[in-house]
Amino acid sequence: MRKLLFPLTMVIAMFFVACDMAPTTDEAIAFNDEIVADQSDLIDLNQEFIDVYSGDDLDDIEDAMEELETFLEDKTEEYEAMEAFDDEDIFRKAFLDLLGEFTEISEDYEKLLEMWADDDVTLDEIADFEEEINDATTEANENFLDKQKDFSEQYEFDLAD
């Protein structure tokens, strides 16, 4: 019985070790591509809002805002429910941070629309607030890209330009 117990214990131990293995580079690349596709959709929706914001059609502006906010809510919920990719989980968390930043930016967009409706707000104040939003957008994207670079280095794959 003892002779059988040792090999059986080894097989069970190897099974648990195999189940707890770190993701492969190919899995990391696939995960990167999944997040980048969602990031691309986010950037497109944000740009769509910016494009219609410069127009005069309030319905188009509200529709673009609603589409952006719905996307942010859905993706935040999806990525919060997702299991950690690995022990560090830097890239999923980085995307959640990006979604959070863009949620705040979308709230700033709403404030910006309110500013346009307020006769006491000057064009300079609006321009300054637009610049703050632009800076926040740039910083959020740069922080995300830094974490993506860390993730690619961790799993030893190159990022496309």
Burial (Cβ within 10 Å: 0-12, 13-18, ≥19) of residue 76: middle
- Is-contact 106 69, C-beta < 8 A? yes
Interval 96-117: pLDDT, tens: 999 999 999 999 999 999 998 8
Interval 22-53: pLDDT, tens: 899 999 999 999 999 999 999 999 999 999 98
Is 94's pLDDT higher than 90? Answer: yes
Give one DSSP letter per residue of the chain, joined into a string: -HHHHHHHHHHHHHHHHHHTPPPPHHHHHHHHHHHHHHHHHHHHHHHHHHHHHTSS-HHHHHHHHHHHHHHHHHHHHHHHHSPPSSSS-HHHHHHHHHHHHHHHHHHHHHHHHHHHH-TTS-HHHHHHHHHHHHHHHHHHHHHHHHHHHHHHHHTT-PPP-
Its pTM stands at 0.85
- pLDDT at residue number 3: 60
- What is the rounded distance in angstroms from the CA atom of residue 115 to the CA atom of residue 149? 38
Per-residue pLDDT band for 18 (boundaries 50, 70, 90) equals very low
- pLDDT at residue number 12: 54
- pLDDT at residue number 142: 97
Is 2's pLDDT higher than 90? Answer: no
